[in-house]
Amino acid sequence: MMPRESRARNRSAPAAHRPGGPGPETRADSSRPELIGERDRQAFLDILSHELRTPVTTIYGGAQLLAKRELGSDRRRALAEDVRTEADRLYRLVEDLVILVHSERDGIRPVGEPVAVGRLVSVAIEREVARHPGVKIAMLGASDAAADGADEVMVTHVIRNLLDNAIRYGGTEGPIEVIVEVTTHEVQVRVNDRGNAPEPDSQPFGLSGTKPTTAAARAGAGIGLYVANRLVRAMGGRMWADRGEGKGAEFGFALTRSAGPLPAQA
């Protein structure tokens, strides 16, 4: 889902950081950061062309076959599903691009309200499992976790992007685990999969140095992680990327814990 227009001041991208481990925290500051700098623009265009090529090619080719050829019912259903999947992928990419356009123009600003993070994680998992029936995703931890000073639409978008990243780069290797934890000051969401973990010196939330030939590699996976990081930092939170507890990768974010009651659901 797209965040509302003109939501939050964006902050600069953080270095990879694991909660509780060494390294600088990525909390927001009050200064307006540099947005997409000149050195990132070519990398951004390279990623964009790579990300657009596959869905556009699949949709165009599939539509031609469906319109011009006599196909068996099984083949027709398979083609229609391919077109639907890639159209959904393209739609999500456009949503990410809209966020970047807003952040370049006048920033994105969160509503700044208590948000039921645990509930949003549960709903997001249900949606992704429905989109990818063969993928197994388990939620562990605090289902009632809530963050303060956040934005429900933006948190939903972050969770969706992290799940999409895990499915694309580790969903076929084993189950995905989403762990929600509440500490003294934070709500932490950790997405663990069995894909390749980012290298220690990589910049998984940046654009510089990412090329189409390496975009499928785990470090610098693309625009989705970059956008997720911007949204989290806009809400005063932090993100990290590291090796998971066992084999695989962990991508996560943390927001300020809510001490008050959540607003009633509509």
State pLDDT tens for residues 2-43: 444 434 333 333 333 444 433 333 333 333 444 555 556 666
Question: CA 95, CA 84: separation in Å to the nearest integer?
Answer: 17
At residue 265 the predicted structure's pLDDT band, cuts being 50, 70 and 90, is low
For residues 178-189, average pLDDT: 95
Rounded-to-integer distance, Cα 105 and Cα 147, Å = 27
113-256 maps to CATH 3.40.50.300: no
Contact at 8 Å (CB) between 176 and 249? no
Domain 38-105 has CATH 1.10.287.130: yes
CB 28 within 8 A of CB 11: yes
Whole-number Å distance between alpha carbons of 144 and 29? 28
DSSP H or E segment with residue 153:
helix 152-170
Boundaries of CATH 1.10.287.130 in the chain? 38-105
* pLDDT tens for each residue of 36-65: 555 566 666 676 777 777 778 888 888 888
CATH 3.30.565.10 occupies which residues in the chain?
113-256
> What number is the average pLDDT over the span 192-207?
77
The least confident of 75-89, 111-125, 140-154 is 75-89
Write phi, then psi, for 135 (nearest 5 degrees): -95, 135
Task: Scan for tokens 């990525």, then name that residue.
Answer: 26
Pick the more confident residue, 103 or 197: 197
Task: Spell out the residues 6+ positions from residue 211 whose beta carbon is closer than 8 angstroms to its own.
Answer: 43, 46
Which of the two residues, 17 and 139, has the higher pLDDT score?
139
Beta strands 238-243 and 176-182 are unpaired
Which of 51-65, 143-157, 160-174 shows the lowest per-residue confidence on average (mean pLDDT)?
Answer: 51-65
The confidence score (pLDDT) of residue 204 equals 76
